[in-house]
Chains A and B, each alone.
Chain A
Amino acid sequence: MQGTRPRKKGTLLETLYRQRFLLAMSLPFFLWVLLFCYLPLAGWGMAFQDFKLRGDVLESFFSAPFVGLKHFGDLWEDFVNQGRFFLALRNTLAMSLLLLAFGFVTPIIFALMLNEIRIKKFKRITQTISYLPHFISWVVAAGMISVMLSTEGPVNDLLIALGLTDKRITFLADQNMFWGIMTVSEIWKELGWNAIIFLAAITSVDQGLYESAEIDGAGRLRKIWYVTLPCILPVITVILIMDIGWLISVGFEKQMLLGNDMTRNASEVLDVYALKYGIGQSRYSFGTAIGMFKSVVSVVMVLIANALAKKTGETSIL
């Protein structure tokens, strides 16, 4: 019979021929992922060399002398002497932990609050507006933040009107405030967006559970605590694992755009450090070592978080 597809498996070559269209549709992307995602991993070899870019990249790569762990030794020495790498690592971790502490809980609370709003129209408008900042670039957001926080800006106006300060604060020139400003900015930008996933989880909670809780005499707060939160706990765990995995990759755009010479000691994160010293000063091998360190720490943290989640009996993502 013509047109029927044999169900039983043939030899490898027959399978490959039968799936020639599927192969043709996916092989270009297989090549793409090798070249643009896995070839750079081979570039980690640079971290063990004294790589100098002279003309062709590949030629420089294969002619560069092998120096072993020299660059990692330099990083360690800098860390012990509390140099720039130490500062960059400290700033990265400090801003990540602040974001994990405040940026993780706020969307959950926001989602719970949205769920309690009974006026449908108000709820929808609130949601729509709260997603908006997610869609603007950090360049635009940084511009807005610098206007808000400028000495003549609205935040200073508000603080003076409320009598909280009598002289105008130079927010962006004070390195003690930098971490806090970054954390608030990130929350401002992503609060509504990060709440979507929790809101979706909340709406899929079995309504019968609320009714039985009501019969048992539970008020609104008790229903949230004993019904909603336990029901969305798996989602919370998954998001928490992912956030911990991203801990060291706090992002660098806002720090790079809003940092200046006066806040340098607080604003320089690992990526900016790798960019400045790796590409800016052509110390490519050193910069690669920083990136490699960051990536390895990140993978280890995902694995640890995942193992912890498995142990506590919650879902795992790997």
Chain B
Amino acid sequence: MNRFRRTKGDYIIDFVIYAVTLVILVSTLFPFLNVLAIAFNDSSDSVKGGVGILPRIPTLDNFKELTRFPLLLQGGLISLLRTIVGTVCSLLSTCMLAYVLSRKDFIFKKFFTALFLFTMYVDSGLIPHFMVIRTFGLNNSFWVYIIPGLISAYNLILVRSFIEQLPYSLQESAFLDGANDFTVFTKIIMPLCLPVTATVGLFYAVGQWNSWFDTYLYAPFNEKITTLQYELMKILQQSMSQQGNLSQAGKLAQSQSISPLSIRMAVTVVAILPILLVYPFVQKYFVSGLTLGAVKS
């Protein structure tokens, strides 16, 4: 390349690019570090403001305080459970259907594919969905987290594109050995799909862990199946209405022993911790899996 004859203009371009990128990096990371700093900072000190990216008076008290909210523990457990059950169910269903739809000889290939693609463009809206869920008696049930969102058409297409580009000869030799379609799917296709299942599995898992609106809509008062995000949302709503009417009384209430701010940030840390923990290990998968499917379709 032309790195030996860089002009003055090149240096200016480089300077602008690095400066802008640095600004983007800082503004992306700062809120995360700030949340961590406040969560680990002494609560009465945090109220004074000005906490940056490091706690001024480090403490674990805010997290100890969380034990006073039993719903948070219950919500955390349900969130964990729905993430595991939901990801496994969605992933298996998506892969199985994607395999069937990848088979050129399948009699309903076009019809079924069109049915699922259409769902990406037409949304029936909140209330008809709500009524259907009620008709099936799914509201106030744990399965409302799993069944209605079982397959996303987008992920289905991603997996199908991946399977379609595998050589068909792999399946053909198995068929000649007398294997049926299901065995071919479990023994040959599934193991080869690892890169794309890692991507799609991550999408489903993140979606499940982050979901709060289904709890809000279908089980708002059922403490047995509350979720962590929903509980965090309730805590947030309280503080939002406080910001709405910034009265002196509100400020006074904030300065009492453990402020809602510290509690909020401690819950937030708990809510993003699983994502931060697995993120470095899976991020190489999702980029490769995503671009693979995207460039193809």
Classify the secondary structure of B's interface with A: helix
Task: Decide if A40 touches B264 in the complex (CB within 8 Å).
Answer: no
Classify the secondary structure of A's interface with B: helix
Task: Decide if B25 touches A16 in the complex (CB within 8 Å).
Answer: no
Q: What are the interface flags for B1-40 relative to A under an 8 Å C-beta threshold, 1 for contact and 0 otherwise?
A: 0100001011001100110110011011111101100100
Q: Is A117 an interface residue (CB 8 A)?
A: yes
Task: Decide if B49 touches A143 in the complex (CB within 8 Å).
Answer: no
Min Cβ gap B20→A in Å is: 7
Q: Is A266 an interface residue (CB 8 A)?
A: no
Task: Decide if A142 touches B176 in the complex (CB within 8 Å).
Answer: no
Picked from A58, A140, A298, the residue with its CB within 8 Å of the CB of B272 is A140
Number of interface residues of B (CB under 8 A): 102
Instruction: Using known A-B contacts A135-B275, A137-B271, A142-B236, determine if residue A128 contacts B283 with beta carbons closer than 8 Å.
Output: yes
Task: Decide if A44 touches B17 in the complex (CB within 8 Å).
Answer: no
Instruction: Using known A-B contacts A44-B124, A140-B232, A196-B290, determine if residue A117 contacts B240 with beta carbons closer than 8 Å.
Output: no
Q: How far is the CA of A153 from the CA of B206 in the complex (A)?
A: 29
Task: Decide if B30 touches A154 in the complex (CB within 8 Å).
Answer: yes
> Which of A35, A126, A135 has the most chain B CB within a 10 Å cutoff?
A135
Instruction: Using known A-B contacts A43-B132, A253-B213, determine if residue A200 contacts B103 with beta carbons closer than 8 Å.
Output: no
Q: How far is the CA of A147 from the CA of B88 in the complex (A)?
A: 35
Q: How far is the CA of A61 from the CA of B206 in the complex (A)?
A: 36
A116 contacts across to B, CB distance below 8 A: 13-14, 17
Q: Which residues of B, 247-297, contact A by the 8 Å Cβ criterion?
A: 261, 264-265, 268, 271-272, 275, 279-280, 283, 287, 290-291, 294-295
Question: How many CB-defined contacts (below 8 Å) exist between A and B?
Answer: 274
Min Cβ gap A249→B in Å is: 7
Q: How far is the CA of A294 from the CA of B128 in the complex (A)?
A: 13
A291 contacts across to B, CB distance below 8 A: 123-128
Picked from A57, A200, A290, the residue with its CB within 8 Å of the CB of B135 is A57
Picked from B31, B124, B295, the residue with its CB within 8 Å of the CB of A204 is B295
A: residues with CB less than 8 A from B are: 2-5, 15-16, 19, 21-26, 29-30, 32-33, 35-44, 46, 53, 57-58, 61, 110, 113-114, 116-117, 122, 126-133, 135-140, 142-148, 150-154, 157, 170, 172-173, 188, 191-192, 196-197, 200-201, 204, 214, 219-221, 245, 249, 253, 257-258, 260-262, 271, 274-275, 278-279, 284, 287-288, 290-292, 294-295, 298-299, 302
